[in-house]
């Protein structure tokens, strides 16, 4: 009896200790949000709105079939910039790279410092045939109605180009002098891969030995109700983007008549291979940018959620299990497998001699294309199935405990005081990845507060932005430049 009592007592003491330690952990979690400085930027709203509205009217459309691109619209757009931003064209060095890539250099006062870069793109995706009539305002009208600017590119991403130029023009007007050089770089084919635009700009700057402290591109925005347990809007800065791979699984072998099939046919074997991959899945692990996201938002969560994340040493497996239950959060912590094409057979009574499947995978930083190939081969364990994998590796992962990240985070907080600003992992590709070789860090952030409907409108119908958001975006870019100026490195 006595022995049981002491075991019970010991257990109670241990449980008590566990609760005390974990609660203390929870209560001592420190916020990673910098105190906002007041953004003292007063923009000439009417002029700024006119500029974005006009910018939208140029049909700088990227088509996969490059022969369809109308470059006269791009020329007109460039002329429009020159007329609209006279101080920039007078005071910054301007050059065109590969005809339509635009690079502006704002010389700093301290040549010992490495530059920073602000980038964006002025090409837009086409309006899908047959959807024109669904637009409440014509897609290239640039209509401004009741505080909303309408049109293709209003969010993706002429707001970036015009927002950055507007901010620099404002700072020039105030006779602001940056200490480090600031580059503004605008691509013209981001929507079709960026090979002619961003990629050529990077090559040109690389030859000159330029190395950025950070480059800021479009990316995550400020969204509400995205992270459970956080009431405030959350602004997410992409510190890396996932890789994208296309895996092809194919098998060839005897076909034959369907009246006397083997136990395992070509279709059956490819199907079984895919089923094995789906059953196995890549391991999900809370690490890297996915983990950073929670490190930054956890201190702002309600007690229950904060308790779990503050005691990750204990709860990590549970957190991972929960994250893996939803596709969106699962994608944050593992390489994803999406079979997208299956091809086999032509006739109902003939066994196909070939069968193949295409799988689209999005790679976590750390999972390389060759890892992925090996994972597929090991998992399907069928020597007759040929596996090829090609694609793009995940981008470099940028720092979050650095002055470079803090500059972008601080600027976002200065403008969006109530938002929690955190790093995250982007699933989609962007031009930012191209800058990896010439930048210590690349950050991806679109400084607007948007809803999930806004996101759908970006490449869809009725793309638009509120004047309020747009003005805040301009202020954000001005703040990034000002905040980067104070840094001693």
Q: Which residues are catalytic?
A: 123, 190
Nearer to Zn ion, 291 or 469 (CB): 469
Q: Restricting to residues 153-172, name those near Zn ion by CB under 5 A.
A: 156-157
Residue 422 to residue 409: CA distance in whole angstroms:
8
Nearer to Zn ion, 142 or 219 (CB): 219
Angle at 119 between CA 118 and CA 122, to 5 degrees: 145
Q: Which residue has the tokens 């930027």?
A: 41
Nearer to Zn ion, 300 or 463 (CB): 463
Nearer to Zn ion, 21 or 428 (CB): 428
Identify the CA nearest to 230 among candidates 297, 296, 322. Answer: 297
Query: DSSP readout, 387-406?
Result: EEEEEEPPPPPPPSSSHHHH
CA atoms within 13 A on the CB side of 317: 1
> Which tokens hold the place of 120?
């964006």
Q: How far is the CB of 190 from Zn ion (least distance, A)?
A: 5
Q: With beta carbons less than 8 A apart as the criterion, state whether 436 and 395 touch.
A: yes
Identify the CA nearest to 144 among candidates 477, 412, 471. Answer: 471
Residue 107 to residue 91: CA distance in whole angstroms:
9
Q: Restricting to residues 57-86, name those near Zn ion by CB under 5 A.
A: none
Residue 91 to residue 73: CA distance in whole angstroms:
26
Enumerate the H helices of 183-311 as residue ranges.
198-207, 266-280, 288-297, 303-310
Q: How far is the CB of 444 from Zn ion (least distance, A)?
A: 10
Residue 412 to residue 301: CA distance in whole angstroms:
19
Mark the segment that binds Zn ion (CB under 5 A) among 24-32, 133-141, 150-158, 279-287.
Answer: 150-158
Nearer to Zn ion, 156 or 196 (CB): 156
Q: Which residue has the tokens 């065109």?
A: 96
Q: How far is the CB of 155 from Zn ion (least distance, A)?
A: 8
Q: Of all helices (H) and strands (E), which one includes residue 343?
A: strand 336-344
Mark the segment that binds Zn ion (CB under 5 A) among 29-37, 64-72, 149-157, 356-364.
Answer: 149-157
Q: How far is the CB of 156 from Zn ion (least distance, A)?
A: 4
Nearer to Zn ion, 156 or 241 (CB): 156
Contacts of 301 (CB under 8 A, 6+ apart): 227, 229, 230, 309
Nearer to Zn ion, 156 or 367 (CB): 156
Q: Restricting to residues 277-296, name those near Zn ion by CB under 5 A.
A: none
Q: With beta carbons less than 8 A apart as the criterion, state whether 297 and 32 touch.
A: no
Contacts of 167 (CB under 8 A, 6+ apart): 41, 474, 475, 476, 477, 478, 481
Size of the site for Zn ion (CB under 5 A): 2
Q: How far is the CB of 146 from Zn ion (least distance, A)?
A: 26
Q: How far is the CB of 218 from Zn ion (least distance, A)?
A: 5
Mark the segment that binds Zn ion (CB under 5 A) among 26-34, 111-119, 148-156, 286-294.
Answer: 148-156
Between the CA atoms of 374, 376, 380 and 383, what dihedral angle is there, to the nearest 10 degrees?
-50
Nearer to Zn ion, 157 or 189 (CB): 157
Angle at 486 between CA 480 and CA 488, to 5 degrees: 125
Nearer to Zn ion, 156 or 320 (CB): 156
Mark the segment that binds Zn ion (CB under 5 A) among 151-159, 205-213, 320-328, 382-390.
Answer: 151-159
Q: How far is the CB of 474 from Zn ion (least distance, A)?
A: 18
Residue 217 binds Zn ion (CB under 5 A):
no
Q: How far is the CB of 244 from Zn ion (least distance, A)?
A: 16
Q: How far is the CB of 221 from Zn ion (least distance, A)?
A: 12
* 25 DSSP 8-state letter: H
Q: Tell how far CA 169 is from the center of its chain.
A: 27
464-466: strand order across its sheet = 144-145, 148-150, 464-466
Q: Which residues bind Zn ion (CB under 5 A)?
A: 156-157
């Amino acid at each position: 009896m006595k022995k049981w009592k002491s075991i019970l007592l010991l257990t109670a003491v241990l449980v008590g200790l566990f609760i005390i330690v974990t609660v203390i952990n929870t209560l001592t979690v420190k916020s990673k949000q910098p105190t906002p400085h007041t953004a003292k930027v007063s923009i000439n709203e009417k002029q700024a709105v006119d500029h974005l509205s006009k910018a939208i009217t140029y049909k700088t459309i990227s088509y996969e079939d490059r022969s369809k691109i109308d470059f006269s619209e791009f020329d007109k757009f460039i002329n429009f910039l020159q007329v609209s931003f006279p101080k920039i064209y007078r005071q910054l060095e301007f050059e065109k790279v590969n005809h339509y890539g635009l690079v502006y250099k704002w010389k700093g006062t301290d040549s010992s410092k490495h530059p920073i870069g602000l980038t964006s793109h002025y090409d837009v995706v086409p309006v899908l045939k047959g959807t024109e009539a669904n637009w409440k305002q014509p897609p290239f009208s640039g209509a401004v109605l009741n505080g909303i600017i309408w049109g293709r590119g209003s969010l993706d991403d002429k707001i970036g180009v015009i927002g950055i130029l507007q901010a620099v023009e404002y700072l020039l007007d105030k006779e602001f002098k940056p200490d480090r050089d600031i580059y503004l770089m605008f691509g013209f084919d981001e929507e079709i891969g960026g090979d002619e635009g961003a990629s050529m700009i990077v090559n040109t700057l690389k030859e000159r030995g330029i190395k950025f402290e950070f480059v800021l591109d479009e990316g995550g925005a400020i969204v509400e109700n995205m992270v459970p347990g956080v009431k405030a809007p959350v602004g997410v800065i992409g510190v890396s983007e996932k890789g994208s791979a296309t895996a092809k699984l194919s098998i060839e072998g005897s076909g034959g008549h369907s009246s006397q099939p083997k136990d395992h046919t070509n279709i059956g074997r490819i199907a079984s291979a895919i089923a094995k991959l789906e059953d196995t899945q890549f391991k999900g692990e809370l690490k890297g940018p996915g983990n950073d996201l929670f490190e930054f938002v956890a201190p702002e969560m309600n007690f229950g959620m904060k308790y779990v994340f503050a005691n990750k040493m204990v709860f990590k497996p549970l957190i991972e299990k929960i994250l893996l239950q939803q596709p969106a959060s699962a994608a944050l912590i593992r390489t994803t497998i999406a079979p997208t094409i299956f091809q086999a057979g032509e006739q109902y009574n003939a066994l196909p001699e070939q069968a193949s499947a295409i799988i689209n995978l999005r790679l976590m930083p750390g999972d390389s294309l060759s890892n992925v190939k090996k994972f597929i081969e090991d998992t399907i364990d069928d020597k007759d199935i040929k596996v090829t994998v090609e694609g793009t590796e995940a981008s470099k992962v940028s720092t979050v405990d650095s002055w470079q990240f803090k500059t972008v985070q601080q600027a976002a907080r200065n403008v969006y005081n109530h938002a929690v600003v955190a790093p995250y992992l982007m699933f989609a590709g962007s031009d930012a990845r191209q800058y990896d070789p010439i930048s210590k860090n690349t950050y991806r952030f679109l400084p607007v507060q948007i809803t999930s409907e806004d996101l759908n409108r970006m490449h869809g119908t009725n793309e638009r932005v509120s004047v309020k958001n747009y003005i805040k975006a301009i202020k954000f870019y001005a703040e990034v430049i000002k905040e980067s100026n104070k840094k001693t490195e």
